[in-house]
């Protein structure tokens, strides 16, 4: 009897050690066959044989617990719960690369970058996590400045060296200090600092047809000797006319930004109705497009630029909005919806 139990025990332990569902081994026919032997034994052997089977079951249960703990530590591959198949389905063939296309936002960022490249601007990337110095202090938002509250930033639990929460940048202006520092030598060589930063930004917005919590923005910076508001207007007008492929009128309205002085809201004549009034421009004939202004002397000085010798302008524009206007897209949420019927139009 002992030999039979030892043989079955060895088989069950080996099965448990490799089984993906080890608890099912406790229902093995091998174990059940031992219980079936009890009625066939003489009365004086039944008790001893039953105890041996119970001990065997305890040994297997201990092995099951060990195997389950081992499986819990294994790193399983992530499962895509959105995949259109179940465990019994054949793995679908990947789509050919020729079936894909460039996302409309990425394509338009490439187009606007090319326009600015031809105007002498370099293209820089932003960051998706940054510190409060680059987001605020370097842009003339000192600690406690009320304008910090206007940005509805996403704060993280991670903190910088000053103990301040890191943030998901709410504007690509977070790169302005770095751009000025990086190209500071240009000024010594008699060349301007000219750069754009098209990238993703994040704001704690209520979502609707015109607002997203994640969108794209392009920051522009130009610094040199004798730079003035006329240069700013001419640059933006030239860019927008090239981008929309038609002559446009522009206008500036006074505004306030801590990092520019003077500051403006920049509007252009509606490219769809030629100032007659339509649904795109809310029947006004003008579309408020971006914020801009002459870079504040404090911002220049913070980055090591002499504001007594050099001046410059900066602007920030929502890429999503530019594209919506270009193609008469009615809802900004389409860009991140992954709706193929929308994306296939591009």
Res 82: pLDDT: 66
Residue 75: pLDDT above 80?
no
| Greater model confidence, 296 or 72 | 296
123/32 same-domain check: no
24-72 pLDDT, tens digit per residue, is 888 888 877 877 777 778 878 877 887 888 888 888 888 888 888 887 7
The answer to the question of residue 36 being in a domain is: yes
268/153 same-domain check: yes
Res 225: pLDDT: 96
Residue 85: pLDDT above 70?
no
Q: Considering its fold, how many domains does the chain have in total?
A: 2
The answer to the question of residue 29 being in a domain is: yes
CA-to-CA distance for 240 and 250, rounded, in angstroms? 10
| pLDDT band of 115, cuts 50, 70, 90 | very high
57/174 same-domain check: no
Collapsing DSSP to helix, strand or coil, 140 comes out as coil
CA-to-CA distance for 294 and 261, rounded, in angstroms? 5
52/149 same-domain check: no
36/160 same-domain check: no
282/211 same-domain check: yes
- Of the chain, the percentage scoring pLDDT greater than 70 comes to 91
Single residue among 73, 95, 121 that ends a domain in this structure: 73
| pLDDT band of 86, cuts 50, 70, 90 | low
221/111 same-domain check: yes
Single residue among 73, 93, 119 that ends a domain in this structure: 73
The answer to the question of residue 250 being in a domain is: yes
Q: What is the pTM of this model?
A: 0.68
CATH number at residue 117: 3.30.930.10
The answer to the question of residue 92 being in a domain is: no
Q: What mean pLDDT value characterizes the chain?
A: 85
182-203 pLDDT, tens digit per residue, is 999 999 999 999 999 999 998 8
The answer to the question of residue 81 being in a domain is: no
Res 275: pLDDT: 79
92-114 pLDDT, tens digit per residue, is 677 677 777 788 899 999 999 99
The answer to the question of residue 54 being in a domain is: yes
183/63 same-domain check: no
Tokens 């003489």 belong to which residue?
42
Q: Give the domain extent around 144.
A: 104-343
Alpha carbon distances (Å) from 137 to 81, 143, 301:
43, 7, 12
């Amino acid at each position: 009897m002992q030999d039979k139990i030892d043989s079955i025990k060895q088989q069950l332990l080996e099965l448990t050690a490799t089984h993906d569902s080890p608890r099912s081994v406790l229902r093995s026919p091998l174990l059940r066959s031992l219980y079936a032997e009890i009625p066939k034994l003489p009365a004086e052997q039944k008790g001893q044989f039953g105890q041996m089977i119970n001990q065997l079951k305890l040994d297997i249960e201990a092995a099951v617990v060990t195997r389950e703990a081992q499986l819990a530590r294994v790193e399983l591959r992530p499962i895509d719960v959105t995949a259109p198949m179940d465990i019994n389905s054949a793995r679908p063939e990947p789509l050919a690369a020729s079936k894909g296309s460039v996302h409309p936002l990425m394509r338009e960022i490439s187009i606007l970058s090319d326009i600015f490249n031809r105007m002498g601007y370099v293209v820089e990337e932003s960051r998706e996590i940054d510190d409060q110095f680059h987001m605020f202090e370097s842009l003339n938002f000192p600690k406690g400045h009320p304008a910090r509250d206007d940005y509805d930033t996403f704060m993280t639990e991670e903190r910088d060296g000053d103990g301040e929460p890191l943030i998901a940048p709410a504007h690509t202006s977070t790169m302005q200090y770095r751009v000025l520092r990086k190209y500071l030598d240009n000024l010594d060589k008699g060349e301007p600092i000219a750069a754009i930063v098209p990238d993703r930004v994040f704001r704690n917005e209520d979502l609707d047809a015109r607002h997203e919590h994640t969108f794209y923005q392009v920051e522009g910076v130009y610094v040199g000797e004798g730079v003035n508001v006329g240069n700013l207007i001419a640059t933006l007008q030239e860019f927008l006319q090239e981008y929309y492929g038609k002559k446009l009128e522009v206008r500036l309205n006074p505004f306030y930004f801590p990092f520019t002085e003077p500051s403006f809201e920049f509007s252009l004549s509606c490219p769809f109705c030629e100032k007659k009034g339509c649904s795109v421009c809310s029947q006004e004939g003008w579309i408020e497009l971006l914020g801009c202004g002459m870079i504040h002397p404090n911002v220049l000085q913070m980055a090591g630029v002499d504001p007594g010798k050099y001046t410059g302008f900066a602007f920030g524009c929502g890429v999503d909005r530019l594209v919506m206007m270009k193609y008469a897209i009615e809802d900004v949420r389409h860009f991140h919806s992954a709706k193929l019927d929308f994306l296939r139009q591009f």
